[in-house]
Amino acid sequence: SQLYWFTVEFGLCRQNGIVKAYGAGLLSSYGELIHSLSDEPEVRDFDPDAAAVQPYQDQNYQPVYFVSESFSDAKSKLRSYAAHIKRPFSVKYEPYTHSIELLDSPQTICHSLESVRDELHSLINALNVIS
């Protein structure tokens, strides 16, 4: 929950060397937005390992914020962090249903591979048509 809190809700990002807010909690609270961009809070470079254990404040303004170098940098660091989480299953995003698919059995993995194969065939056919 801390990673969500310090990115989606209260994330900061550098753009052309200027720190800007992108978190929904910051953008929806003028007071917190002004606070986050002032000299009062501690602003740290975004590190998922540090943000994951940083306590957050939901009664007052945040004493600590994390700033990413860019959205792609934050996304890359979050993906790397998530890839190293030890769990007995894998997941896959299903774009058609906008859901997460649990890959926890040979059957679900085979079904997912069949979908990838079908999509690949469609793309190859489309490429052949326009070539």
Residues placed in the known binding site = 9
16 backbone φψ class: left, alpha, beta (φ>0; ψ -120 to 50): left
Can you say which residues are annotated as belonging to the binding site for Fe cation? 9
* Rounded Cα distance, 24 and 17, in Å: 21
For the chain, the distance separating the N- and C-terminal CA atoms, rounded to the nearest angstrom, is 48
Nearest Cα to Cα of residue 12 among 59, 60, 51: 51
Q: What's the Cα-to-Cα distance from 65 to each of 11, 58, 105, 112, rounded to whole Å?
A: 7, 13, 40, 39
User: Running DSSP on this structure, what letter comes out for residue 6?
Assistant: I
